[in-house]
Amino acid sequence: MAADNSEDHGEVGLLAALLAGQRRAVEAVAAAASAIERAAASVSEKLGAGGRLIYIGAGSSGLIAMQDGAELPGTFGVDRSRIVFVVAGGAGRAHEIDGAAEDDRAAGRRDVDALGDLANDVAVAVSASGSTPYTVAAAEAAAARNATIVALANRPGARLLDIADHPILLDTGPEAVQGSTRLSAGTAQKCALGLLSTLANARLGHVYRGLMVNVRPDNDKLRRRALDIVAAIAGVDESVARRSLASASDDVKCAALIAAGADSHRRALDLLTQSHGHIGPALSRLRESVASSV
């Protein structure tokens, strides 16, 4: 598809081209679904074993990667110390996109080398072109330090994909505004990363029947959500859900088990341990124990 612009076709024509690019972005992610699923299994394996999840990127791709990782502690209860950002120009200044920093291969290597051995970790590297010098060098350094590499790129045959244990091609084609990879390429990256991290956390037991059961209720909105989750899982009213959350020190999974009949926080924790953190099997064990005691 040829690039469009408002001077040749008017604003309506540009808008249509932009929307078509967004649709292509989602189609590109759908085409990569199997690769995303395989990568998610690897991410969950590393996180489940105590490893770190390292996001690597530059420019708008780095910002998109950071957004995905920044939301994981609140949404899925992932410890913040296990989410690492390796971003051109530094994560603290990522919003001030530094074009020159994207070309700094030495900085990419240094930033990864500072993390030590990565054998227990998984690195997710993101680049629209798949050839951004900083990102490629950082991914190469991570591979040399034994990290598992997941790579997202929007161009077939990209160097970044060659490095990866799990290459994910998001073939979005030309942008409606040439070179503006924050458009369809960025949408595909955001979508793919969201699928990747959510699937990985679901495999770890952080999602149950579409509910974020490992959420950290650290503000009013999330406390309300936690109450609703406990009530929905255990089939209880808000007052019971509130007491259960207090008994469980705001641990949503444990609170749901207490509301469903576990006699203590310790009992709820034991059930979750036996079920490897998955609340569905823990609820089944609880019901079996209750039935056998009747």
Q: Indicate the domain borders of the chain.
A: 6-203, 220-293
Q: Which residues are catalytic?
A: 71, 102
From the centroid of its chain, how far is CA 116? 23
User: What is the C-alpha to C-alpha distance for residues 179 and 189, in angstroms, rounded to an integer?
Assistant: 15
Residue 169's DSSP bridge partners are: 153
What integer pLDDT is reported at residue 4 of this predicted model?
A: 43
Asked, colleague to colleague, whether 6-203 and 220-293 share their fold, the answer is: no
User: What is the C-alpha to C-alpha distance for residues 211 and 225, in angstroms, rounded to an integer?
Assistant: 9
To the nearest whole number, what is the mean pLDDT of the chain?
92
Which tens digits make up the pLDDT trace of 131-185?
Answer: 999 999 999 999 999 999 999 999 999 999 999 999 999 999 888 788 788 889 9
Q: Could you tell me the pLDDT band of residue 8, with boundaries at 50, 70 and 90?
A: low
CATH code given to domain 220-293: 1.10.8.1080
Tracing tokens 């490992």 back to the chain, one arrives at 214
Q: How many other C-beta atoms are found inside a 10 Å radius of the C-beta of residue 38?
A: 14
Query: Taking Cα atoms as reference points, which of 71, 19, 2 lies closest to residue 187?
Result: 19
* Class for the domain spanning 6-203: alpha beta
Residue 234's SS3 state is: helix
User: What is residue 87's DSSP assignment?
Assistant: E
What integer pLDDT is reported at residue 98 of this predicted model?
A: 66
Whole-prediction pTM value? 0.90
What integer pLDDT is reported at residue 1 of this predicted model?
A: 38
Please check whether residue 130 is in contact with residue 140, taking contact to mean a CB–CB distance below 8 angstroms: no
